[in-house]
Structure 1
Amino acid sequence: MWDRQAVDLLDLLVHPVRLRIVFAMSGGQTRTTSDLCTQLPDVPKTSVYRHVGVLADAGVLEVADEQRVHGAVERHYRLRGERAAIGADVAAAMSLDDHRRAFAAGMAAVLAEFNAYLDRPGADPVADQVGYRQGVLWLGPDERAKLIDGLRSLLREVVDNQPTPERSSHLVTAIFFPATPP
């Protein structure tokens, strides 16, 4: 069995709304809870506020700044990326049901993000080069490792890009698993 902290991290992060908040906070920018409500219009505001509080209490989000606005304190949050990921040690200790639950939550979050994109005025999947293809690759262990390392290297080149007027955020989801038994 693994430690309580790992179980808590898994329970914390394996929730579709919290995953979407983590996605929205990625990239180094700060956001208020009100900003997140605007970015996640399909999620009730009370849910966004509650899940931001849960993530902040767990140290996944930290307060970067506070400002008094109309008599209330408005907090600007920043993602603590090192606290927002399930590491290899926790993943190795997860049960098959834990992996099933994590995958389902991740897919639910991706589906919600895609629906939110399609619901935006002017959404144009062709012009935006939206992709959602699935294919089978025949790979040996070394070839699979080389492919994954190559993809990680490509993503590392752009993962620290900061927002600019020319850039918009894009959600990238990579899923690898054997399609047939060995």
Structure 2
Amino acid sequence: MADLELLMHPVRLRIIQALLDGRPSTTTQLRARLPDIPPATIYRHIAALAAGDVLEILAETRVRGAVERTYRLRWDRAELDPAQRAAMSTEDHRRAFTAFTGGLLADFDRYLTGKTADPATDGVTYRQGALWLTDDELAELVATLRSVIAAQKDNEPGHGRTRRLLSLIVIPDRS
């Protein structure tokens, strides 16, 4: 597991989110996916993630005299473990949630400004629901969702497939 400071930086979190589909990517490909991040910034944060073992270097290729690396996300290093989350302060959680939602906003804005954005046809949805759950029922629900997602995570790009971002936020409502 990586540490909070490494994972919760807004730029590094966006790089991690760009690699969530498990497909290896070069820095050039990541720059194309994250065009609003300046090149020097993206290189610096990719290096930090690689040094922290969150990104694995799969290959190094010479391109016009420079070395281009291909990276893959290490799932086992890309999230905080339960003990690390439990040790987070209220301010740590606030910063982490702000970075997470900032990434969501950037992803959604990038989608909406695309030439072919059609939320109705593309199946875009954002909604909130309320469930009355015990802690055990919540743990079972989260485990079920992880299982369902894991069954699809190895899908390869192909005809008819669109890369879709799925985000889950669980917040107790004690109002």
- How much has 1:139 moved relative to structure 2? 2.6
CA contact (8 A) 1:65 1:77 kept: yes
Query: Which residue in the other structure is 2:104 paired with?
Result: 110
Q: Which runs of 5+ in 1 are unaligned?
A: 1-5
Q: Which runs of 4+ in 1 moved over 3 A?
A: 140-143
Query: How many correspondences in the alignment?
Result: 175
> Which residue of 16, 34, 57 corresponds with 1:22?
16
Query: What residue is the counterpart of 2:140 in the other structure?
Result: 146
Cα deviations by residue, 1:73-107 (Å, 9 ceiling, x for unpaired) = 11111111111111112111111221111111111
Give me the whole-angstrom Cα distance separating, in 1, the residues matched to 2:165 and 2:83.
Answer: 25
Distance 2:100 2:112 in 1: 18
- The percentage of counterpart residues that share the same residue type is 47
What SS is found at the alignment partner of 2:121? coil
Deviation at 1:57, TM superposition (A): 1.5
Shift of 1:163: 2.6
Tell me, in whole angstroms, the C-alpha distance in 1 between the residues paired with 2:140 and 2:76.
25
Partner of 2:124: 130
Normalising by structure 1, we get a TM-score of 0.88
Alpha-carbon offset, residue 26 of structure 1: 2.0
- Which amino acid letter does the alignment assign opposite residue 69 of structure 1? V
Contact 1:31 1:78 in 2 (8 A): yes
Among 143, 157, 167, the residue aligned to 1:163: 157
